[in-house]
A and B are shown apart, each in its own frame.
Chain A
Amino acid sequence: MSANGSDPGPGPGLGHALGLRPGFDPAREGGLDLAREAVGFVRVLRAAGLPVGVEQSESFAQALAWIDPLARRELYLAARATLVFRREDQAVFDERFAAYFGGPPARPRAQATPRAPRHDRAEFFRTALVAYMAERVDPNAREVDVPEHHKAASGAELLQRKDFGDCTPAELEAIARAMRDLRLDVTLRVSRRLVRARRGDRLDLPRIVRDAARRGGAVLGLARRRPKLRRRPLVVLADISGSMELYSRILLLFLHGVTRLHARTETFVFGTRLTRITSQLQIRNVDAALDHAAREIVDFAGGTRIADCLHAFDRLHARRVLGRGAVVLIISDGWETGEPARLGGEMRRLAERAHRVVWLNPLLGRAGYAPFARGMAVALAYIDDFLPIHDLRSLQELATRLGRIPRRKGARSIDASRRAPRSIHEA
């Protein structure tokens, strides 16, 4: 061990630090052109949306000194090793490399699915309103003057219980405003990290020793630690087919607003297929992300394939996003086009892996609703909370519920809501 510290590595100094091979003369070896080309290629990659940073382009330039850059395969491998650091960027990289340095085109990318026939007029109108509303809810957007005194107290009270589907544009706007005041405390879980605490079940030995050293070796008190609490990750699976789109939009808008600050929310939307929109939501607003996703995954003839989509989730994403005691929110009316029995199997797997499964169903808010929809009845057996999500009041209820999720897995609240589905928002 060397406490004074010397230069790491046996490298030959400055030339090495610059990544130049000893005796490498860029001008003589055509290196200047090469460097220029390398820089150009990095620009192309950035334009294609790859997050290539300065570190990467430097690495690439350094790597050129160690390979034979005129051999195309060498150049390709070195570029790939230094410039790509996410697996999902590989395909785009291959395509751009072929285009920039010439050579056979990489395998063609899957063609985008043609745009599905969009909604009927009424639906479209409502969607447009929600889109407008979404803009208004963005705190960075410029304020537009909407006189608030038009909404009397009684009106606000009424609005609390009005189904989103029946709302006028002005009402949706008011709802959007009200949503800003809702607070969401995603429930905490015990992590294995320790923090100092007055009362805790573990001793804080570093502190005990420090204190003792100060007091001539006497241990006068025992400092303690306890496990740190942290938020549970939230995973949202939102059905955006048919009539569910409006409700999903509002829910996502709500969650987006309140969870942006802690990035532990993973969002997926589904129709006939499932797609992840987490990263879309980080760079765009909810509407842009949803419109983009809807083009790809909503197929009106296909209906909703919940089981297929849950299966895709299980295979492609569950391992990555369901760790660390995640709470899963599914928003859907439970109209399964596929085989209901399969949905049962998929729900069982999901319930086994998640800390808690919350199913949000806007139909639950309607008088006389019973979960008889194909699929919904099957899924119920694996759900921990079954809640309505059709009006402002139910959003509030959801926010509160998420803050009170039990530490233990499987303390179900479903029976109460199944017996009297409307009791929640009449309370």
Chain B
Amino acid sequence: MLNRQALAEQLAALGYIVDDALAMSVFLALRMQRPLFLEGAPGVGKTLLATMLAQLFETRLIRLQCYEGLDLAQAAYEWNYPRQLLALQAQHRAEPAGAPAVEHAAPAGAAETDELYREAFLLKRPLLQAIDAAAERAPVLLIDEIDRADEEFESFLLELLGDFQITIPELGTLKARHRPIVVLTSNRTRDVHDALKRRCLYHWIDYPTLATEIEIVRRKVPALGEHLRRRVVAFVQRLRREDLSKLPGVAETVDWAEAISHVGGETLDPPTVEATLGLLLKYHDDIERVRGPLAVQLLAESA
């Protein structure tokens, strides 16, 4: 990969179309080894980009799905407590009878602690896995929907993204040999703190343009004829200008195009649109709004 055009072409070969702005952000993120922060409406292909990067570099994709209350134990590492307890018990059964079970002398206790906090008892969660996997080759670390995690988690990430190391008090500091390729996504259900975004290269992904989306559909649904492909995408693009609760994403366009290709026919007519509207719109209110005269009007306008 020499420059951003080559990168865009390689991604396109995998079926992921990027415009030149996104290509530049990805290119610089790779070159400068910075995390890439992707923000945008649901369904514009933020998560998919990370998957594609993993494919492109033939490396592992490690995904951390964020949710409210996500903490270090779930994101980075946790000790395997049941196994630790079992090990403790087993150890003491093996000891000579009559040995005091309770309140050991301090030195014995310390040795036991060392014994318990070994890598064998460590459960590695995505962030630690990413550092671990980086031993041979940098993996792609996808931190998905960071806006769902709490602020506390953000500040932890901030530290991690700085130098890619995790300190486990009982074990020491673990550091990545190769810096993972990091992609963060946000649907913007809340504002992520500026400090985190500053560490990253930020890119707002918009819905694709008409030409780009036609190209995406051409690759994903080759069975659909050229005329119908254009009509389908133009209708979706027109629909996105309507005042709806949830606008159809690219995945919806592709699903819909596929459905239309199965229905057959030469052109897009109102009955077909109405019958398949559920593939594009996911809210009852939205479907009710579009069904009928509005669908006819949008069809005419997007022709």
Task: Report A's interface with B, CB cutoff 8 A.
Answer: 1-6, 8-11, 19, 51, 53, 55-56, 59, 62-63, 66-67, 73-74, 77-78, 80-82, 84-87, 90, 191-194, 205-206, 208-210, 212-220, 315, 319-321, 323-324
Whether the pair B28, A66 counts as a contact (CB closer than 8 A) is yes
Whether the pair A85, B197 counts as a contact (CB closer than 8 A) is yes
Instruction: Out of B33, B102, B152, B198, name the residue touching A55 (CB < 8 Å).
Output: B198
User: What distance in Å separates the Cβ of B111 from its nearest Cβ neighbour in chain A?
Assistant: 10
Contact with A along B115-135 (1 / 0, CB 8 A): 010010000000000011011
With A3-B172, A217-B92 known to touch, is A73 a contact of B20 (CB < 8 Å)? yes
With A5-B165, A8-B179, A320-B188 known to touch, is A59 a contact of B32 (CB < 8 Å)? yes
Instruction: Out of A4, A66, A323, name the residue touching B32 (CB < 8 Å).
Output: A66
With A6-B175, A191-B150, A323-B189 known to touch, is A81 a contact of B84 (CB < 8 Å)? no
Residues of chain A within 8 A (CB-CB) of B243 are 315
Residues of chain A within 8 A (CB-CB) of B172 are 3
Residues of chain B within 8 A (CB-CB) of A59 are 28, 32, 34, 201
Whether the pair A3, B173 counts as a contact (CB closer than 8 A) is yes
Count of interface residues, chain B, beta-carbon cutoff 8 Å: 69
User: What distance in Å separates the Cβ of A200 from its nearest Cβ neighbour in chain B?
Assistant: 15
Whether the pair A323, B69 counts as a contact (CB closer than 8 A) is no
User: What distance in Å separates the Cβ of B187 from its nearest Cβ neighbour in chain A?
Assistant: 8
9 pairs of A and B residues whose beta carbons are closest in the complex: A192-B69, A5-B175, A217-B88, A85-B202, A77-B24, A205-B81, A85-B197, A81-B25, A217-B92
With A66-B28, A193-B152, A209-B116 known to touch, is A3 a contact of B178 (CB < 8 Å)? no
Q: Is B235 an interface residue (CB 8 A)?
A: no
Determine the distance from Cα of A87 to Cα of B28 in the docked complex, in whole angstroms. Answer: 19
With A2-B177, A8-B179, A66-B32 known to touch, is A193 a contact of B103 (CB < 8 Å)? no
Contact with A along B62-78 (1 / 0, CB 8 A): 00000111010000000
Q: Which residue in chain A gives the minimum CB-CB distance to B163? A: A8
With A73-B20, A208-B85 known to touch, is A82 a contact of B28 (CB < 8 Å)? yes
Residues of chain A within 8 A (CB-CB) of B171 are 3
Task: Report B's interface with A, CB cutoff 8 A.
Answer: 4, 20-21, 24-25, 27-28, 31-34, 37, 39, 67-69, 71, 79, 81-82, 84-85, 88-89, 91-92, 100-104, 108-109, 112-113, 116, 119, 131-132, 134-135, 150, 152, 163-165, 171-179, 188-191, 194, 197-204, 243
Residues of chain A within 8 A (CB-CB) of B198 are 53, 55-56, 85
Residues of chain B within 8 A (CB-CB) of A205 are 81-82
Residues of chain A within 8 A (CB-CB) of B88 are 209, 212-213, 216-217
With A5-B173, A87-B39, A217-B89 known to touch, is A319 a contact of B33 (CB < 8 Å)? no
